[in-house]
Amino acid sequence: MLYLNRHSILLSFVKQCDKFNSNMKILKHLICIVVLVALFSLPMACKAQTVSGKSTPIVPDEQGWISLLDGKTLSGWMTFDPHAWSVDDDGLLVGKGNRSHLFSPNTYRNMEYRAEVKLNHKGNSGMYFRAQLGRGWPKGYESQVENTSSDPQRTGSLYNFVKIGEQLIEDDTWWTQHIIAIGNRIIIKVNNKVVVDFTDEKNTWTEGHLAVQQHDPGSVVHYRKIEVRPLPDDAAVAKAIGVEDTPSLK
């Protein structure tokens, strides 16, 4: 009788072990599936979204300028956070809310890049060029758009390269910001006045996207016009074209 009881207990234990092993196999399979789904989903979560909408054909004007705003949609721009951007009833690009950047679909080496901008009191924004697509603060050059916030680098600064401490623009006022990048030379004009003429001996950034910035929830920025004029990769040829608008390039 004792032998039978032991035998029964042993058989029961073996069955329980088999059941446990079977459950563990199922659990392992489930874990593998979850991990695989997470791995395949990760690149999608980190990928910039192309803002939906029918693209407006890119047609340069007689001087080669291309408008990047159609006054109706955000079509063609790329961003990781589209909720910070909209186009209002007046056709203005508006940035407000959490930090976000709109990236151009194309990359540029030599170019002229200009915009008409208006910024609220203590607001902060920026015009990036030769920027790398990515989350957080873009890697690339930034022409500062900032008049009265706590940041000491004011409008027109080439951020972390050439600092302008003087306030050039009043709050809630439209102005034009114009960037010329040819080779390692960068010129920034504010209302057609050259405020930066810088040669980057390290040639830090050579090619990348254009971008505009929504800095923080307290900032409200309006862009009325954003244009780019691609220039030839050959710096000498690009300079010959750019000097028409900016004689100081000579």
pLDDT in tens, 182-202: 999 999 999 999 999 999 999
Phi (first) and psi of residue 180, to 5 degrees: -125, 120
Q: Distance between alpha carbon 153 and the CA centroid of its chain, in Å? A: 20
Q: Are 128 and 140 in contact (CB under 8 A)?
A: yes
CB atoms within 10 A of CB 149: 19
Q: Is 71 exposed, middle or buried (0-12, 13-18, 19+ CB in 10 A)?
A: middle
User: For 21-35, 67-81, 86-100, 119-133, which range has the lowest pLDDT when averaged over its residues?
Assistant: 21-35
Residues 6+ positions from 155 with CB-CB distance below 8 Å: 144, 145, 146, 147, 164, 167, 168, 169, 175, 177, 190
pLDDT for residue 24 is more than 80: no
Q: Tell me the whole-structure pTM to 2 decimals.
A: 0.78
Give the pLDDT of residue 63.
Answer: 92
For residue 35, report the phi and psi dihedrals to the nearest 5 degrees: -65, -45
Return the structure tokens found at 28: 């392992």
Query: How large is the average pLDDT for residues 119-138?
Result: 96
Q: What is the DSSP letter of 52?
A: P
Cα dihedral: 119, 67, 80, 107 (round 10): -120
pLDDT class for 32, splitting at 50, 70, 90? very low
Q: Tell me what percent of the residues of the chain surpass a pLDDT of 70.
A: 76
Give the C-alpha separation, 209 to 229, whole Å. Answer: 13
Residue 33 has pLDDT above 90, yes or no: no
Measured in degrees and rounded to the nearest 5, phi and psi for residue 33 equal -65, -45
In degrees and rounded to multiples of 5, residue 107 shows phi and psi of -105, 155
DSSP state of 56: P
CA dist 74 to 51, 54, 93, 94, Å?
6, 9, 8, 10
